Structure 1
Amino acid sequence: MHRVDIMSDRPNPTGVCSVSQPSEIVVRAITQDGAFRVITALTTQTVQGVVSAQQVTGATAQRLGELVTGAILVREAMAPTLRLQVIAKDTAGRGSLVADAHPDGSTRGLVTLRGGETEIEVAGGSLIQVMRSLRNGAIQQGVVEVPEGGGISQGLMAYMQESEQVVTMVSVATLLDEHGVGRSGGVLVQLLPEVERGPLMVMTERLREFEELGAVLANEEVTADKLLDELLYGMPFTRLEESALRYACQCSQVRVVTALATLPRSDIEEMVSDGEMLDINCDYCGKAYQVPPAALQALLTPS
């Protein structure tokens, strides 16, 4: 039988393929003086699902968790109703990480390793590419380099500053334990035009405590709302809304056939002539699909 790997990346009208964990949330708020917009998220279960599906450990699992969390925060900040993908490329060319965040709260990830490599790091000089799917089907994207001495948090801050022209502080962290991903979460703070010097000085000092977010997340009682309360302690704010988060893949049988339809006609004819069942695995979640020769033949018939 044929075996083909397909990376699913198109909208799926038929729903997600995997069973998701209980929902986590991302919370949006604004200070009452109009100085800061704040987004917080605890993403532990979502990241656990992504890391488990990709079967990665160590530094690669940490960086993937941070990228997934960062993608969720940036999507919520830029366009909560649109899909956002973030790609991080290893400086040494060992591979790349992908985080794919959807407006329904489902998020998935992908690790691509090259030439027998076993680990990916994202550090100064790595490239961060952010792609946003617009309602008209177009893709808006930007690419930045991670600052020297920085990581995913600093790379996303550079993107928000250079591509979106918004002064933004981003801090994401994924903690590992003996079982894999123990805790994961992040915060995002944007300076709004109404900010004054006094509140800015207070927030600057407060954010120093969140630069090393891992220490904050180590407290097992921390939630998205508690992150918000700690970050804005003493600052009156309005909690705007929350959105559910979960790990889930967007692949489906329909999407598999749709992806096959984009192959050259000669490739499809060759698969049809073999007369064998085609085995296809989703790169994101590993789910196996089978496409019978009759379905392949249908792709060769003009509609």
Structure 2
Amino acid sequence: MGNSTESVITDYLVRIITRDGSIRALACVTTDLVGEACRRHGTWPTASAALGRAMTGGALMGALLKTGQRVALRFEGNGPLKKVLVEADANGAVRGCVGNPEVNPLREDGKLDVAAAIGHAGLLTVTKDLGLKEPYTGTVLLYTSEIAEDLAYYLTDSEQVPSAVGLGVYVEPDGAIAAAGGFLIQSLPPCNDELVDRLMARIGAMPSVTELLRQGKTPEGLLDHLFEGIPFDTLEKRALAYVCSCSRERIERVLVSLGHDDLASLMNEQGGAEVTCELCRERYSFSREELQRIVDEMMSGEAC
């Protein structure tokens, strides 16, 4: 299923629903997959925090989909990061990249300033491949550029599902990802206003997600903290992993789309081709002989 780490899977997500059926919630830990993405892209600390939050948000939103469906999140602002792009599917596979990995603005208190990295003017575009003829796309203006609040705003405003999102990434001084994860809570009809108010008060009073994760909170621990005293049932637990859908076969199809002339130029001018996947930085090299084979197969197909 593409490229992924071979380490033991420690990232996972838990989904619950309150006993009265009025609130659904998901929580996850994404430390390893975020660390893998940041290593591959060589991100500086603030860029790592932005990418990690977005990938965690993507994992949470992907878990709301049905098998075979996918979601893509694209944050584009006027800050130096330029963009954050994340793709996730219903099976727990997540990948992502940033436009400029060498970005590290800090706030006055020394904390990573993700909003400044993204920029305060821009768009969040959410694209869902639901297996239909055309994908569903929704776009909203960036709300705060803090990613979690932008996703909550999108879900509430564009999809009309009142939502709260909390995301956290802790980056060590050496750039390593020490903790990453988050939660997504949604109110379902008919709305239980009293329960929503209790949860909003609890979210407002709780420590940051980053702090809870650094304390060793698991997805179950995050949910127990949020829903203390509120009966709920656990619906599922699923593994999450950094997985890219690129492959040599897919890259070869991209080369075919270039056409005879461009492939001939690559053979004559560069003696081959090297293509790098934007989302995972995997490199695919094609020799002159391999490019010639592709051209010959193209011409043979056209002659049939």
Q: Which bin holds the TM-score, normalised by the shorter protein? A: 0.7 to 0.9
Question: Which amino acid in the other structure matches residue 12 of structure 2?
Answer: I
Does 1:107 pair with 2:102?
A: no
Matches of 2:246 and 2:193 in 1, distance apart? 49
Matches of 1:17 and 1:121 in 2, distance apart? 28
3-state SS, counterpart of residue 21 of structure 1: coil
Matches of 1:29 and 1:242 in 2, distance apart? 9
Greater length-normalized contact order (CA 8 Å, ≥ 6 residues apart): 1
Does 1:42 pair with 2:29?
A: yes
Q: Any stretches of 5+ residues in structure 1 without a counterpart?
A: 1-14
Q: Select the structure that is richer in helix.
A: 2
Matches of 1:98 and 1:260 in 2, distance apart? 23
Cα deviation, 1:211-250, whole Å, max 9, x if unaligned, reads 8322222212x10111111111111111001111011222
Does 1:62 pair with 2:20?
A: no
3-state SS, counterpart of residue 157 of structure 1: helix
Conserved 8 A contact 2:24-2:188: yes
**How big is the shift at 1:145?**
1.5
Compare 172-181 and 253-262 and name the one that shifted more. Answer: 172-181
Partner of 1:253: 248
Partner of 2:165: 170
Matches of 1:181 and 1:278 in 2, distance apart? 34
Conserved 8 A contact 1:21-1:46: no
Q: How many equivalent residue pairs?
A: 285
Cα deviation, 1:242-292, whole Å, max 9, x if unaligned, reads 111011222211111011122244212322444823222223333222213
Compare 289-298 and 103-112 and name the one that shifted more. Answer: 289-298
Does 1:16 pair with 2:2?
A: yes
Deviating above 6 A after TM superposition, structure 1's stretches of 4 or more consecutive aligned residues are none
Q: Any stretches of 5+ residues in structure 2 without a counterpart?
A: 105-115
Conserved 8 A contact 2:276-2:283: yes
Partner of 1:4: none
Partner of 1:6: none
Partner of 1:5: none
Assess, with a 3 A threshold, how the Cα gap between structure 1 residues 210 and 262 changes in structure 2: closer, same or farther: farther
Cα deviation, 1:59-89, whole Å, max 9, x if unaligned, reads 1110110000011111223446411111111
Assess, with a 3 A threshold, how the Cα gap between structure 1 residues 275 and 113 changes in structure 2: closer, same or farther: closer
Q: 1:74 aligns with which of 58, 61, 68?
A: 61
Mapping of 1:1-303 within 5 angstroms?
15-23=1-9, 24-79=11-66, 81-92=68-79, 94-113=81-100, 118-119=103-104, 121-136=117-132, 138-147=134-143, 149-179=144-174, 180-210=176-206, 212-220=208-216, 222-274=217-269, 276-297=271-292, 298-299=294-295, 300-303=298-301
Matches of 2:150 and 2:207 in 1, distance apart? 14
3-state SS, counterpart of residue 113 of structure 1: coil
3-state SS, counterpart of residue 27 of structure 2: strand
**How big is the shift at 1:93?**
6.0
RMSD of the TM alignment (CA)? 2.3
Matches of 1:197 and 1:158 in 2, distance apart? 19
3-state SS, counterpart of residue 268 of structure 1: helix
**How big is the shift at 1:123?**
4.9
Matches of 2:66 and 2:119 in 1, distance apart? 26
Aligned identity (percent) is: 24
**How big is the shift at 1:98?**
1.1
Matches of 2:201 and 2:263 in 1, distance apart? 60
Matches of 2:265 and 2:225 in 1, distance apart? 61
Question: Which amino acid in the other structure matches residue 19 of structure 1?
Answer: T
**How big is the shift at 1:150?**
5.0
Assess, with a 3 A threshold, how the Cα gap between structure 1 residues 136 and 291 changes in structure 2: closer, same or farther: farther
Matches of 2:285 and 2:192 in 1, distance apart? 60
**How big is the shift at 1:172?**
0.7
Conserved 8 A contact 2:84-2:97: yes
**How big is the shift at 1:22?**
2.4
TM-score by length of 2: 0.85
Conserved 8 A contact 1:20-1:246: no
